[in-house]
């Protein structure tokens, strides 16, 4: 009797485990995604297709494509058909620049329902940045709009594209092409950008790399402030924020405002004289 009960119990456990196996398999395949090819050249169409296990009305599939360094190069929302299938087309190139393995990540409603696949991209054939000439930038200096003084620079790991003032933020926007981890040393005349307290003493700059504040080294002289800033590969913009930047926006604005007020007063006075009754 005991042996019969033992056999029955083992059979029940075996049947239960077999019944549960498909459920675990389904959890792992709530969504699948694939591309029509494993590698692409610039200009080719990347066909992304996939299928969901369960259909949720009104819920799109979120698609993200990331580059070899992890940055997002494409993003989309895809409608799922009644047959539970979805598809999207992406053109290879554009924001896809570097050669390497790109990852396609799809999510359907929650992180638990996601899948990914990869493809190879051969890299962009667009003219390299070093071939694009900016007359305001030489090998050692860069001109800044509104100033006759030049900013001196040395850079490793990338190329300086240009320097522009942001008068609203009292900052300089330094555009670079950071091809790899590197650093840039900028010798900035105080007439171009400075940071001071109301009493004239030197204040600290704030430096942002692609919007994130970073540390930097600085040396000062009576005429210049020299900053050395390290940057990671892929950096596009460095912003240096002070308390003054060319052109001297406050003075110009005050002059324009004064002229405007004088003009208004003159017009108003003339209007009053023209409507006064004459006897």
Indicate the DSSP class of residue 129: G
Q: What is the pLDDT of residues 103-161, one digit of tens each?
A: 999 999 887 889 999 999 998 776 555 555 678 899 999 999 888 999 999 999 999 99
Q: What phi and psi values does residue 218 have, to the nearest 5 degrees?
A: -145, 140
pLDDT higher than threshold 90 for residue 242 = yes
Q: Which CATH class is domain 31-121?
A: mainly beta
Average pLDDT over every residue of 42-61: 92
The residue ranking higher by pLDDT, 184 or 96, is 184
| CA distance linking residue 169 with residue 64, whole number of Å | 33
- What separation in angstroms does the CA of 254 have from each of 44, 143, 146, 200? 55, 26, 17, 21
pLDDT at position 8: 47
With a cut of 90, say whether residue 205 has pLDDT above it. yes
What is the four-CA torsion angle of 154, 160, 162, 163, rounded to 10 degrees?
-40
| DSSP β-ladder status, 61-66 and 72-78 | antiparallel
Question: What pLDDT score does 260 carry?
Answer: 52
List, by residue range, all CATH 2.60.40.1930 domains of the chain.
31-121
Asked if pLDDT for residue 234 goes beyond 50, the answer is yes
Report the percent of the chain where pLDDT is more than 70: 75
Residues 208-214: what's their mean pLDDT?
91
pLDDT of amino acid 146: 81
Is the pLDDT score of 23 beyond 70? no
The pLDDT of residue 88 is above 60:
yes
């Amino acid at each position: 009797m005991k042996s019969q009960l033992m056999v029955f119990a083992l059979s029940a456990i075996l049947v239960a485990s077999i019944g549960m196996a498909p459920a675990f398999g389904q959890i792992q395949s709530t969504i699948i995604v694939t591309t029509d090819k494993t590698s692409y050249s610039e200009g080719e169409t990347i066909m992304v297709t996939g299928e969901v296990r369960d259909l949720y009305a009104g819920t799109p599939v979120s698609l993200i494509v990331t580059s070899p360094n992890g940055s997002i190069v494409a993003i989309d929302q895809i409608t799922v058909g009644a047959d539970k299938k979805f598809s999207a087309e992406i053109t290879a190139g554009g924001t896809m620049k570097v050669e390497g393995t790109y990852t396609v990540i799809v999510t359907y409603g929650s992180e638990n329902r996601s899948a990914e696949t990869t493809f190879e991209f051969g890299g962009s054939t667009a003219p390299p940045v070093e071939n694009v000439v900016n007359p305001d930038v030489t090998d050692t200096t860069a001109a800044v709009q509104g100033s006759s003084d030049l900013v001196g620079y040395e850079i490793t790991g990338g190329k300086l594209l240009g320097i522009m003032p942001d008068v609203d933020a009292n900052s300089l926007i330094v555009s670079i092409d950071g091809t790899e981890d590197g650093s840039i040393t900028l010798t900035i005349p105080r007439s171009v950008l400075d940071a001071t307290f109301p009493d004239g003493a030197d204040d600290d700059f704030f430096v942002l790399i692609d919007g994130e504040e970073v540390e930097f080294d600085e040396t000062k002289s009576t005429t210049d402030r020299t900053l050395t800033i390290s940057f990671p590969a892929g950096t596009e913009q460095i912003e240096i924020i002070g308390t003054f930047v060319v052109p001297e926006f406050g003075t110009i604005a005050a002059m324009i405002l004064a002229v405007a007020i004088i003009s208004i007063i003159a017009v108003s006075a003339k209007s009053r004289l023209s409507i006064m009754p004459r006897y």
